[in-house]
Structure 1
């Protein structure tokens, strides 16, 4: 095996014959850096330079495979499978091999198997029988099936491709034009790569290793920060100071956990590098790639394709799926019809629509977005006769459909959006190349594969060329060159990291081969090499770590613990705040003469809970956009029970009739009819099994409620679902009561059904100075007059766990659970009529408050605004006043 190469400097490299020299780099970054370093040698005397081929190892292997395709009997496979295709094939063979293991995470197993296959080849791992584990034995089965699948398709992946190129070089079959090979950026050579280099040596190629000319940092300083946030702020302040002091310098912040800290990094950097009255803001680049699927235009494309597939296959879809496409846009009339698309989505939310049919969707598009409706009609016609096909055929179809939809929209794309569209186009091409691996798939599978590829494809826009500050991770920074570098996050948890051996390969075999990530010793060596490389990135280097993260104590990395810790530079004091002028805006304009506010008792109840909430919701007409309805929505279940019990009480006019029908068995038949009728109305979107479960639950609840009703004092039904109007100044409110009973003493009992599982006891709500939950008190004190006095306010909980009543009564009416006035401390010693008068005075006062425009941001208890739908307007990120 190849063990040693001749070192060569950059100057010596430029002296080698360019046409006979190949520079292999560890990745693209090294290739670009070497090219930049060679370009520096150009000056007025030397304006032209002949450059050798400078390519990453992976690109050169692809070139070599392409050359083999022109050689007869080279044994080259007909198809090349990339990493995505290989992962898909691993998943397929694992699923076939493990049909009964339902708890196996096939996606994770495929990733581990793919990595294990690479490790076995790259490090030439030998696992004797005595070392084998059960996991390794299953991996061997998967690997054999995987290789057989590749062979049956006449395909090869990167592992087999490397081996094919190596064999061709060793046998002298592969021609190449270079006589000098220069390796750049390789800290070590794995046995597989070492064997390839040895084969080139055998063909008379001279091998060199590019010697880095960088010197270790002349100035090295260690900083301790109290916590990670402070550490980032110190680094950002350092960068701002360096950039302002040296307008021509280039600097870098290198972070150990950049991906997880990226939001914090942007925040502190924007704050530190913001512009001033005399200086512009300083640009910077953060080298963190997000999945392609997270970018808005890609989300839009995927949403439209998912919607098209679902409506064609099922003829209906969930409103959330269609709403995602409508709100994402990226289609014809993207801006012109944006309001129409939003109106359709908002209507589904407001009306609690749980399913949108294909025809209804087309009708709504025609009404609100005519141009999109025409484009959508063209897409449906185009996709009507689609059948299963290979992925290259699906890619052509997807492109045609998106083009018909007007993707990516009609507006001019900015630089980032243009790059996203280009990357998506390349993802389509990459997906098409998986045809040989995945064969024929249906529409849904093709969309799912495209979405998966987009999730696994990282995308980062091109860096701003004007930026002089780079924020990078460890691997991205290795081999870079700046005027100053701050390396943060250097704790012993990061450098060295904990070992993470592949669980499919026995640890003993990994340790024996000294494979990466396998042992603490291997991780320590990697950490030391990386740390040494980072110290050569700049003449001045600052290293830092935090002392605490929350309550957890942190320790410095072994790489820096012997450095003397310097005192952290002081962060700049916040600028002296100017004196702010406060305007307490708690009073809106009164309702104009002749204007009216229409609504239900919720207007008064909301005013009692928080006046600003009532003003925003009913005067300004602003409220939070409702979420999409789902089948398990509590509102649908509540409406189902309400209507069923309403049907019963419209047919039963008194307790006497209830008892007669119960004795004869007619009551159960009546209840069954009521339940079925209500289920047909409110549970039509439920599956048969779920619907039957809800129906059975309703039978139990109604039977329990009837038993409780039969034990009461005699009553007659006065009204069911009766509506009342109340006008007070500019207010015109509607009240709808579930049920009103006439009691044996001539007074009324008002009953309100509650179908949820929460506490229904109104004691704490009704005893307050500003009572809430006002439906029953409102009717009893304001709408009911002397000729229709109320004697009981009943909240009935209809729930499978427990059927019960709570409330207030002025007498014993046989309902266990109703309290007398003396049972509640605030009402003790007060008469019933006095309580009604007090409530009436309070409610009319709340109505007057609302009419006068009182909009104080005040609530008595935090739970009062638990379900507030205008929370952002109430500025809940600030401290809200609660009056106890």
Structure 2
């Protein structure tokens, strides 16, 4: 129908009586463009002009619904359900009808069902009895139940409201408001809208079509790029060159898959556009909406509401929930107490805190953020008083009051984008309140979940920067636009025409018969041709590009552009004057001064051996990445439990004989149960009863296996357990804590270190290298144990449910299977035990001298030395460029 309408230009439209004209646009974006075309007609000779009413179709339907509400015979529903509320209702209905189908994706089914519901009415789709499918029959059950529930609620959704308007206009119950109706931006019109327009025409309304402002492009070029990344680089450099040649011009880059390429877009555009004369980045607009929940000010609001919800229900809160709120700020003391809030978050990470009670949180705020602490107590008190189930309309008001009490959105000035996001958040709270007829009374936490979901499903895009001369947008956003030059990329045969996506709940034959959108290849080809013609009318000069390959997959150009000749297009980068580069190799920091404290213990020497710069940054500069939030099933808690249990065992048992006697009395398991229970009380406070019992059972089994291995050893007595040792070398003071030291039958010592992880414990590759690592045992044997103490065995004991094993070195046979002799290790085969100790002593002291002198070269002997590096970004090493000797 749209092609049969008479055309009217903007100039002709401006000559009509504006009060008698309604311009109906396909969406809000097109409405703004039509208004911009009217504004373009203003100048020195004409500064003011009347503008007709310009309304998107959705807004016009809402306006008609309001008019219908004043007609007694209309019998309108009491409530209107928006798209989000309709989705909730569809999901509820589908869950009820399909209660026995656990594998059904209810959320996806609800979206497809809502789309099918509108398609059937919009395109007047008729499904004959012989064309019925199982999916369509199930959908009809859902639809019948959905409309029944709406009727019980005395509510209607946008589709039913549209149908009611259609019926009222077609029967003449609603008279036409204006004599001239102009359609703008419509490429097609559905049968339902066509019937409304025909009824308006029968009432004497003139239906016209607004002609496009621009003529087809005078120059069209096709460019082939090797791959999509290079294609984006071409487009970015093209835009930079165009803007440099014509600073007053307006240009656009139109992309088929813009949302997926946004990070790539920003990187190439910033590199190509550079900065202006003031040193500021050149502005540009990227027309991609992000979920409202992802914007910083909204994330802060959700985080604080989540914390309030937990504490109002008298439950402890995890640092993973508290941290985002504290770091987001947007509260009392937003800027002045930011450091204190960040310090509190870092403390919980370092201490592996699993949960924080309301009392603990308030006390922590008193120390680190006293201004926020006062507001927090008042706000939590009010939230606790109003935490029972209520309508979401009440919760929306409560959320506003709670956030206001916390000082949201902070005391600093908001930028333009943040202010717009805040306004959108406030509108989202209003939308939440209107869901009350659908949701009924809900709890505090359920209301938060609903709000979070609503914000995730609400796209938000700030208004474009009016100073920007470059727009980056998608296919649909470009329709009706006009620029001085346009580059369209991604034009492969997979994009234009797109692959059909018929709605699975409507039989394909019925969709094809109705010529419904997205249903058939012919329909997609028709849409592709219309879109392509629109793209060519966007600018006098149009560049069309496509990639030849994506990885190893060959791509083909869209059939719309396949016949165009390829253009050899060489793009020049922005000209710049080369600068002289000065290189400074700085591998030394200031030497460690006497009396300076160095935290980290023996780990300082171990890190110096792995990478000297890592050691300098971590222990001299105090820099490290933030630890992850602790999890209740954290492997570290399991290791701490086993270490503590082993310590308690050998504080009870002084030697092997005591273990043997206990075993002969069948008392080992009873002792282990008591010891592990005590260790669990200290190490597993945050574990639930079931998980605690599982971990205790595992620990008892592992420890029992280990003690049975201990019975097979030569006689020994335990000399030290968890003993701390201090070592000073020049200005360097280090500490070392050893799990256990045994006195062997010949009077010499065995040093034992427990390992509880999954990894291999063979120390051979670590101890035989030029700069040895994992130095706890060699450090004690070679450096601390001097004088009358002689070390005869270095033992790594793996305590794990899969396997209990021993690895290490020994100067003799002590009945510990798994220990190696020096002759078994090639690099140590020619050395005596004393020579090995002297070699290690010299190496360790050399590493200590390196650290104390400030030596900080950025190099490693092996790539895996940096596997657990916590300052890796500072080292500026990557998988592709790494300095490994």
Fold conserved between structures, TM > 0.5:
yes
State how far apart, in whole Å, the 2-side matches of 1:3 and 1:196 are.
17
- Secondary structure of 2:313 counterpart: helix
Q: Map 1:37-48 to 2 at 5 A.
A: 37-42=37-42, 47-48=47-48
- Map of 1:392-407 to 2, 5 A cutoff? 392-407=393-408
Which whole-Å CA distance do the structure 1 matches of 2:757 and 2:438 have between them?
52
SS at 1:847 equivalent: helix
Q: How does 1:786-865 map to 2 (within 5 A)?
A: 786-865=787-866
Q: Does structure 2 retain, via aligned residues, the 8 Å contact 1:259–1:288?
A: yes
Equivalent residue number for residue 379 of structure 1: 379
Question: Does the 8 A contact of 1:857 with 1:880 survive in 2?
Answer: no
Q: Is the 8 A contact 1:597 1:730 kept in 2?
A: no
- CA separation of 1:125 and 1:772: change in aligned 2, threshold 3 A: same
Indicate the residue corresponding to 1:744 in structure 2. 745
| 1:73 match: secondary structure | helix
Distance 1:830 1:432, change over 3 A: same
- Indicate conservation of the 8 Å contact 1:644/1:678, yes or no: yes
State the match for 1:659 in structure 2: 660
Helix, strand or coil at the partner of 1:116: helix
The farther-off stretch of 74-83 and 169-178 is 169-178
Partner of 1:131: 131
TM-aligned CA distance change 1:233 to 1:335, over 3 Å: same
Shift of 1:535: 0.5
Q: Relative to 1, partners in 2 of residues 1:29 and 1:593: Cα closer, same or farther, differing over 3 Å?
A: closer
By how many angstroms is 1:301 displaced? 0.4
Residue 441 of structure 1 is matched in structure 2 by: 442
Residue of structure 1 in register with 2:215 after alignment: 215
Cα distance in 1 for partners of 2:277, 2:252 equals 26
Give how far 1:275 is off. 3.1
> Is contact 2:609-2:847 (8 Å) kept?
yes
For the pair 1:63 / 2:63, whether they are aligned, the reply is yes
In structure 2, C-alpha distance between the alignment counterparts of 1:18 and 1:837, rounded to whole Å: 98
Deviation at 1:508, TM superposition (A): 2.0
Distance across 2 between alignment mates of 1:481 and 1:599: 63
SS, match of residue 544 in structure 2: strand
User: SS where residue 389 of structure 2 aligns?
Assistant: coil
- 1:159-207 CA-to-partner distances (Å, cap 9, x unmatched) read 1011111111122222332122222221111111112122223333232
Deviating more after overlay: 348-357 vs 697-706: 697-706
Identify if the C-alpha distance between structure 1 residues 691 and 303 changes in structure 2 by more than 3 Å, giving closer, same or farther.
Answer: same
Aligned runs of 1:555-704 on 2, under 5 Å? 555-572=556-573, 575=576, 577-704=578-705
2:507 maps to 1:499: no
Match in the other structure for 1:879: 881
Equivalence for 2:359: 359
**Contact 1:170–1:202 at 8 Å: present in 2 too?**
no
1:613-640 deviations in whole A, cap 9, x for unaligned? 1111111222111111111111110010
- The structural deviation recorded for 1:671 is 0.9
Contact 1:225 1:568 in 2 (8 A): no
Cα drift, residue 785 of structure 1: 2.6
Give the equivalent residue in structure 1 for 2:168.
168
Change over 3 Å in CA distance of 1:249–1:509 after alignment to 2:
same
**Shift in Å at residue 45 of structure 1?**
5.5
Aligned CA distance change for structure 1 residues 849 and 45 (closer, same or farther; 3 Å) = closer
Q: How does 1:474-485 map to 2 (within 5 A)?
A: 474-485=475-486
CA contact (8 A) 1:726 1:733 kept: yes
How far 1:280 moved relative to its partner? 7.4
Would the aligned equivalents of 2:23 and 2:184 in 1 still touch at CA under 8 Å? Answer: yes
Asked if the contact 2:2/2:186 (under 8 Å) is kept, the reply is no
In 1, Cα distance between equivalents of 2:259 and 2:208: 36
1:711 Cα offset (Å): 1.2
CA change 1:616–1:14 in 2 (3 A) is: closer
* SS of equivalent to 1:388: coil
Compute the displacement of 1:791 (Å): 0.8
Spell out the pairing of 1:255-274 with structure 2 (5 A cutoff). Answer: 255-274=255-274
Q: Distance in 2 between matches of 1:597 and 1:433?
A: 60
Partner residue, 1:765? 766
Counterparts of 2:100 and 2:74, CA distance in 1: 41
State the alpha-carbon separation in 2 of the partners of residues 482 and 353 from structure 1. 56
Residues 734 and 247 of structure 1, relative CA distance in 2, 3 Å threshold: closer
**TM-score where L is the length of structure 1:** 0.97
Cα RMSD for the two superposed structures: 1.8
Q: Which residue of 2 aligns with 1:464?
A: 465
> Aligned partners of 2:422 and 2:281: how far apart in 1?
29
In 2: Cα distance, 1:786 partner to 1:32 partner: 88
Distance in structure 2 (CA, Å) of the matches to 1:3 and 1:462: 33
Task: Give the drift of 1:786.
Answer: 4.3
Task: Give the secondary structure class of the aligned counterpart of 2:817.
Answer: coil
CA pair 18-404 structure 1, distance change in 2 beyond 3 A: same
Distance in 2 separating the partners of 1:223 and 1:805: 65
Aligned to 1:328: 328
Distance 2:48 2:776 in 1: 88
* Distance (whole Å) between structure 1 residues aligned to residue 139 and residue 192 of structure 2: 21
Partners in 2 of 1:439 and 1:596 — Cα distance?
Answer: 62
**d(CA) in 1 for partners of 2:597, 2:30:** 72
Q: Give matches, 1:289-308, under 5 Å.
A: 289-308=289-308
Mean Cα displacement is larger for which, 340-349 or 732-741?
Answer: 732-741
Question: Could you tell me how far apart the structure 2 residues matched to 1:683 and 1:278 are?
Answer: 58
- Structure 2: runs of 5+ lacking an equivalent: none
* Residues 311 and 380, structure 2, Cα contact 8 Å, conserved in 1: no
Verify the 8 A CA contact 1:742 1:748 in the aligned structure 2: yes
Q: Which string of whole-angstrom CA distances, capped at 9 and with x for unpartnered residues, describes residues 322-355 of structure 1?
A: 0110000000110000011011111101111001
Is the 2:182–2:209 contact (alpha carbons within 8 Å) kept by the matching residues of 1?
yes
Aligned residues: 883
Deviation digits for residues 279-323 of structure 1 (CA, Å, limit 9, x no counterpart): 976422111111111111100000000000011214211111001
Offset from partner CA, 1:784-831 (integer Å, 9 cap, x none) = 134221111110000010001000011111111100000000011211
> TM-score, normalised to structure 2's length?
0.97
Unaligned stretches of 5+ residues in structure 1: none
SS at match of 2:743: strand
